[in-house]
Structure 1
Amino acid sequence: MRATPHRCQPERSEGSALNPQLKGVEKLEGTYLFDLAASAKALRLNRFLHGFTVPINRALFKGDPEAAFDKAGLSAEERRMVRELDWAALMRYGASFFCLEKLGRVKGVSNPEMVAGFRGESLKEFLKTRNVPGAR
């Protein structure tokens, strides 16, 4: 007997959320909703990024990114976002911050640089918003 695929969550229209506490969250600038729908959409990408915890996957990506993309079955858009390190687009797409940290580590990008990218700022611009004595 074959299992019938099922959905974890009903399809929702753009901008709507099933949880009433999240109503209007899409209007909050800089807020990235990570719910079941986003998680399901980005599952393949997040599995790819989480795979960087395995040394052979890191080596493949560093040596031949296209082969790594092919192996993971990434879409053209997913490949573009990873190639360009488009942090804001990756977050909007549904990439998990914790998986993005793995990409940052492989590419030599610090957390502050990633956060600046989420905000559409340079690292220098982002650091000016921090109220930390001696931060550079």
Structure 2
Amino acid sequence: MSKVRDNYVLDVSAGRRGYALNRMCGSLTDPENRRRFLADEAAYCDAYGLSPEQKRAILERDWTAMLDLGASIFYTVKLAMVDKKSVQDLGAVFTGMTTEEFTATMRAGGRRFG
């Protein structure tokens, strides 16, 4: 995935690289798939053909690595929801803040870039 001024850009190259990862995360919208994933996360990753790096990122919940490996935040959040994490929790991880700090920053109008 490309980075433009501290922002990830999901371009064609990243989309191709992250296809299996995004497909797997997207599958977690189905309750039966969530059950199967939680029963054996590694096997579920293997069933979707994740690369070793993608699988490691999923199993370790390395959210930033997922984006580096081509994941889209729109699909990654599906996995976060399985872990009962919010979009604010992920935003905090990506910005190096606590969830409370991130939420307060967003309520105050967000970060300003100069």
TM > 0.5 fold call: yes
Equivalent position of 1:56 in the other structure: 32
How far apart are the structure 1 equivalents of 2:70 and 2:52?
16
Q: Which structure: greater strand fraction?
A: 2
The amino acid that maps onto 2:5 is L
* Superposition deviation, residue 109 in structure 1: 0.5
Would you say 1:41 and 2:27 are equivalent positions? no
Contact 1:53–1:102 (CA<8 Å) still a contact in 2? yes
Structure with the greater alpha carbon radius of gyration: 1
> After the TM superposition, which parts of structure 1 deviate over 4 Å for at least 4 consecutive aligned residues?
none
| Aligned mates of 2:56, 2:98 — CA distance in 1 | 20
Alignment gaps of 5+ in structure 1: 1-13, 16-25
Calculate percent identity across the aligned residue pairs: 34
Q: Are residues 1:131 and 2:111 paired?
A: no
Q: 1:77, 1:43 → 2: CA distance? A: 14
TM-score with structure 2 length normalisation? 0.82
Which segments of 5 or more consecutive residues in structure 2 lack a partner in the other structure? 109-114
C-alpha change, 1:55 and 1:127, in structure 2 (3 Å) is: closer
Is the 8 Å Cα contact of residues 61 and 68 (structure 1) preserved in structure 2?
yes
More relative contact order, 1 or 2 (CA 8 Å, 6+ apart): 2
Aligned alpha-carbon RMSD (Å):
2.0
Distance 1:124 1:73 in 2: 36
